[in-house]
Amino acid sequence: MSARRPYRSDVSDARWALIEPVFAAWRARRTGPGTAARVHDPREIVNAILCVNRTGIPWEYLPHDFPPYKTVYDYYAKWEADCTTEQVPLRPELSP
Protein backbone atom coordinates (compact mmCIF):
# COMPACT_ATOMS: atom_id res chain seq x y z
CA MET A 1 0.00 0.00 0.00
CA SER A 2 1.18 3.55 -0.62
CA ALA A 3 2.35 5.98 2.03
CA ARG A 4 -0.87 8.00 1.88
CA ARG A 5 -3.15 8.26 4.89
CA PRO A 6 -5.91 5.66 4.64
CA TYR A 7 -9.52 6.52 3.93
CA ARG A 8 -12.36 4.89 5.82
CA SER A 9 -13.43 3.29 2.55
CA ASP A 10 -10.08 1.52 2.00
CA VAL A 11 -10.07 -2.26 1.84
CA SER A 12 -8.73 -3.88 5.01
CA ASP A 13 -5.65 -6.09 4.98
CA ALA A 14 -7.83 -9.11 5.81
CA ARG A 15 -10.23 -8.45 2.95
CA TRP A 16 -7.39 -7.69 0.52
CA ALA A 17 -5.83 -11.07 1.36
CA LEU A 18 -9.10 -12.68 0.22
CA ILE A 19 -9.66 -10.71 -2.98
CA GLU A 20 -6.12 -10.09 -4.25
CA PRO A 21 -5.88 -13.51 -5.98
CA VAL A 22 -8.90 -12.62 -8.14
CA PHE A 23 -7.19 -9.49 -9.45
CA ALA A 24 -3.82 -11.22 -9.81
CA ALA A 25 -5.46 -13.92 -11.94
CA TRP A 26 -7.19 -11.26 -14.03
CA ARG A 27 -3.87 -9.54 -14.64
CA ALA A 28 -2.20 -12.83 -15.58
CA ARG A 29 -4.86 -13.42 -18.27
CA ARG A 30 -4.17 -10.04 -19.86
CA THR A 31 -1.10 -10.56 -22.01
CA GLY A 32 -0.12 -9.77 -25.55
CA PRO A 33 -0.35 -6.68 -27.75
CA GLY A 34 -2.18 -3.74 -26.25
CA THR A 35 -1.55 -4.70 -22.62
CA ALA A 36 0.66 -2.24 -20.84
CA ALA A 37 2.86 -2.98 -17.88
CA ARG A 38 1.13 -2.43 -14.56
CA VAL A 39 1.74 1.10 -13.36
CA HIS A 40 -0.75 1.33 -10.51
CA ASP A 41 -1.14 -0.92 -7.50
CA PRO A 42 -4.36 -2.95 -7.93
CA ARG A 43 -5.16 -2.41 -4.26
CA GLU A 44 -5.16 1.34 -4.84
CA ILE A 45 -7.47 0.87 -7.81
CA VAL A 46 -9.84 -1.13 -5.60
CA ASN A 47 -9.57 1.51 -2.85
CA ALA A 48 -10.45 4.24 -5.34
CA ILE A 49 -13.47 2.28 -6.61
CA LEU A 50 -14.62 1.73 -3.03
CA CYS A 51 -14.22 5.45 -2.33
CA VAL A 52 -16.52 6.31 -5.24
CA ASN A 53 -18.96 3.56 -4.31
CA ARG A 54 -19.16 4.32 -0.62
CA THR A 55 -19.20 8.12 -0.83
CA GLY A 56 -21.19 8.59 -4.03
CA ILE A 57 -18.76 11.14 -5.46
CA PRO A 58 -18.44 11.44 -9.24
CA TRP A 59 -15.38 9.72 -10.75
CA GLU A 60 -13.95 13.13 -11.66
CA TYR A 61 -13.88 14.15 -7.97
CA LEU A 62 -11.76 11.21 -6.86
CA PRO A 63 -9.15 12.55 -4.40
CA HIS A 64 -5.81 13.36 -5.99
CA ASP A 65 -3.86 10.78 -3.97
CA PHE A 66 -5.54 7.94 -5.87
CA PRO A 67 -4.57 6.95 -9.42
CA PRO A 68 -6.14 9.14 -12.14
CA TYR A 69 -9.92 8.75 -12.24
CA LYS A 70 -9.91 7.72 -15.91
CA THR A 71 -7.51 4.89 -15.09
CA VAL A 72 -9.61 3.79 -12.11
CA TYR A 73 -12.79 3.84 -14.18
CA ASP A 74 -11.09 1.91 -16.99
CA TYR A 75 -10.17 -0.88 -14.57
CA TYR A 76 -13.67 -0.82 -13.08
CA ALA A 77 -15.31 -1.03 -16.52
CA LYS A 78 -13.09 -3.93 -17.59
CA TRP A 79 -13.69 -5.82 -14.33
CA GLU A 80 -17.44 -5.33 -14.69
CA ALA A 81 -17.47 -6.31 -18.37
CA ASP A 82 -15.66 -9.62 -17.85
CA CYS A 83 -17.43 -10.40 -14.53
CA THR A 84 -14.25 -10.19 -12.46
CA THR A 85 -16.12 -8.22 -9.81
CA GLU A 86 -18.58 -11.11 -9.42
CA GLN A 87 -15.67 -13.36 -8.43
CA VAL A 88 -14.69 -11.19 -5.48
CA PRO A 89 -15.60 -13.08 -2.31
CA LEU A 90 -17.83 -11.11 0.02
CA ARG A 91 -17.37 -11.75 3.71
CA PRO A 92 -19.65 -9.50 5.80
CA GLU A 93 -17.86 -10.41 9.03
CA LEU A 94 -14.79 -8.56 7.74
CA SER A 95 -16.69 -5.31 7.23
CA PRO A 96 -15.86 -2.45 9.59
Of 50, 40, 42, the closest CA to residue 10 belongs to 50
Q: 23-64 pLDDT, tens per residue?
A: 999 988 876 555 566 788 999 999 999 999 999 999 999 999
> For residue 80, which phi and psi values (nearest 5 degrees)?
-70, -45
The pTM of the full predicted model, rounded to 2 decimals, is 0.83
Arithmetic mean of pLDDT over the chain: 85
Least confidently predicted of 64-68, 77-81, 91-95? 91-95
* Domain residue extents for the chain: 42-96
How many Å apart are CA 76 and CA 60, to the nearest integer? Answer: 14
